[in-house]
């Protein structure tokens, strides 16, 4: 398994196309959530790709400098055909490690989909908010 982290201007056209295609499949089509998927955060984000031995994109997240004391990550996805392989756990662990490496003195906060609360708790995240709707999907804020 290979973990690659790149800024937007370091991504190849093929990488960006593949990331965008998967993000739209998951966050717009699958979740039936029409919104601006590509946004200004992409320009400043670190894009983390998890690739298998055949160079398939099996996971993706983006890491963002939130403020002077916090970093965050989001757009956590495993393409549908690769789910049930525990890539989600590998992806989040790699993302936490890379976030701590890039932003060593910052706390990690996330906006998690509510149904994934226990999953994120297994990495040490704790809720810091009640459940709220974000794009009509229940979320909660969490901190590591």
DSSP string, 16-39: HHHHHHHHIIIIIIITT--S--S-
Identify the CATH class of 2-105.
Answer: alpha beta
Q: Where are the domains of the chain?
A: 2-105
Local confidence band at 102 (pLDDT 50, 70, 90 cut-offs): very high
Over 90: is that where the pLDDT of 12 sits?
Answer: yes
The string of DSSP letters for 66-95 reads -SSSEEEEEEEE--GGGTTSSHHHHHHHHH
Query: Tens digits of per-residue pLDDT, 21-55?
Result: 999 999 888 888 887 888 999 999 999 999 999 99
């Amino acid at each position: 398994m290979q973990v690659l982290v790149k800024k937007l201007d370091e991504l190849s056209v093929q990488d960006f196309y593949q990331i965008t295609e998967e993000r739209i499949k998951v966050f717009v089509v699958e979740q039936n959530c029409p919104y601006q998927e590509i946004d200004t955060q992409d320009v400043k984000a670190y894009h983390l790709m998890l690739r298998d031995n055949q160079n398939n994109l099996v996971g993706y997240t983006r890491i963002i400098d939130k403020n002077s004391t916090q970093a965050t990550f989001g757009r956590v996805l495993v393409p549908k055909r690769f789910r049930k392989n525990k890539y989600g756990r590998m992806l989040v662990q790699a993302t936490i490690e890379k976030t701590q490496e890039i932003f060593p003195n910052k706390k990690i906060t996330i906006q998690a989909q509510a149904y994934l609360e226990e999953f994120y708790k297994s990495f040490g995240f704790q809720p810091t908010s009640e459940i709220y709707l974000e794009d009509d999907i229940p979320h909660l804020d969490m901190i590591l």
